[in-house]
Amino acid sequence: MRSEIHDNLQQVVTKKVLVVHPYLNDVLRGSEEVLVKILEALIDYGHEVSLLGELPSGSIFDNLLLSNIKQIPYGSEENIKPKRFQAYRRYLFGHSKLKNNLCKEVGEMDLEISTRDTMFFIGAGKKCVAYVHFPENLTRLQKPNLKHRWFWKLFYLPIILQRTRQIKDIDLLICNSPYTKDAIMDHWGRDAEVVYPPVDIKDFQPLQKEPLVVTVGCFAPNKNFEMVTQVAKQMPDVKFVIAGRKELVDPYYDKIATLKPDNVELIANATRDDVSALLGKAKIYLNSCVNEAFGISVVEAMAAGCIPVVYNRGGPKETVGSYGFLYDDVEGCVKAIGEALQSKIEISDVVERSKMFSSDVFKKNFIATLMERGFL
């Protein structure tokens, strides 16, 4: 069915579409990448597109055909009372007050698409679609990691009930991996369509390979770089590199710098060109993040011809298919890297696997999914 729709995408009837992404970073992160490619896809297929949110100037968004997108500022919640009770101000009072005015400004839309958080829907679309990166916000309220748990569950109950109603009213949930699809069912009781997120793989290609193990990601505790240092200590003859963004004052970076053995090199604030060159010559890509929803860096590494070694749960496990190695703990990771270094997997096969997650494939699959449901 989807392949037939691909052949007829140019026959789409023009629709009025509102894309909702109120707060944007001028650094290309996962949610911004999804936003950009959805905007491009809708414009490519001739739809009338409005964006609830403002695209930063002088950034990666400059490549968009901005003249074809009506940009509507979301507004500010800072002036909305009460100032205390931040969760209530954000989830109940703030957005509820803003969305009434926004609906009047936007007018009626055929379709409303959220690419950030389901709470920001304003109800302007005849149909509502949400691209979900992970159902985390609601689950944090449902399982507060605080003392007096029952008090906080009661405190958050009105917000949870409202968010539950919002989620129930969404006509279609689209997500980034089968792992996230299962989490949506577990936490929200809703089914979802999987459309893998777009990965800009054109900047990555294999170079002359070396017995090098590379890990890429911002220096943040959820990246679990401690495990990389533990693995490296057990493999002193193998060189490891961790490359990623760091803050000017970064306690986590300092922690990893203290823990690392001599065979681990840290590269702070590497450019995209630096990362591309590094992945191009590395034989192994080690993804240390546990339970990651998708793992864009894993696909980029595969496009550069790296053999991926990933945690045995989460999106990256699904992404690598039979072209990678899995681990459950430090000892398993040491074994997996050893096997990967000796592997006869063809680099061309790994690169070919990465192409199924390209930006062009994402745009076609996203539009096709909406057409299958009759939304476009």
Note whether 302 and 214 are within 8 A (CB). Answer: no
Q: Where are the alpha helices (DSSP H) in the chain?
A: 2-6, 30-44, 86-88, 95-106, 136-142, 149-169, 178-188, 225-233, 251-259, 272-281, 296-303, 315-320, 330-341, 347-354, 359-372
Same domain as 79, residue 34 = yes
In a domain, 165, yes or no: yes
Lowest mean pLDDT among 15-24, 71-80, 213-222, 315-324: 71-80
Report whether pLDDT(126) > 80.
Answer: yes
Residue 203 lies in a domain: no
Instruction: Say whether pLDDT at 11 is over 60.
Output: no
> Per-residue pLDDT averaged across 52-67, rounded?
64
Q: What's the pLDDT tens digit per position in 132-183?
A: 998 865 555 555 555 666 777 777 777 778 788 889 999 999 999 999 999 9
Shared-domain flag, residues 173 and 282: no
Average pLDDT over residues 311-329: 93
Contact criterion met (CB below 8 Å) for 22 and 52: yes
Residue holding tokens 């997997």? 345
Choose between 340 and 100: higher pLDDT.
340
Is residue 277 located within the same domain as residue 179? no
The answer to whether residues 138 and 190 belong to one domain is yes
CATH number of the domain at 60, please.
3.40.50.2000
pLDDT digits (tens, 9 = 90+) for 24-54: 765 556 788 899 899 999 998 889 999 998 7
What residues have CB less than 8 Å from 195, skipping those under 6 apart?
Answer: 131, 174, 175, 176, 362, 365, 366, 369
| Structural domain boundaries, residue 266 | 210-356
Asked if residue 187 belongs to a domain, the reply is yes
| Tokens encoding 343 | 């592997």
Higher-confidence residue: 45 or 237? 237
Say whether both 15 and 58 belong to one domain.
Answer: yes
Can you tell me the distance from the alpha carbon of 147 to that of 161, in angstroms, rounded to the nearest whole number?
A: 22
Do 233 and 180 belong together in one domain? no
Residues 214 and 107 in one domain: no
Residue-wise pLDDT for 250-300, tens only, equals 999 999 999 999 999 999 998 889 999 999 999 999 999 988 999 999 999
Domain count, the chain: 2
Which band of pLDDT confidence, cut at 50, 70 and 90, is reported for residue 305? Answer: very high
Q: Do 186 and 215 fall into the same domain?
A: no
Residue 243 in tokens:
């490359």
CA dihedral 276, 279, 280, 285 (to 10 degrees): -150
Q: Are residues 32 and 180 in the same domain?
A: yes
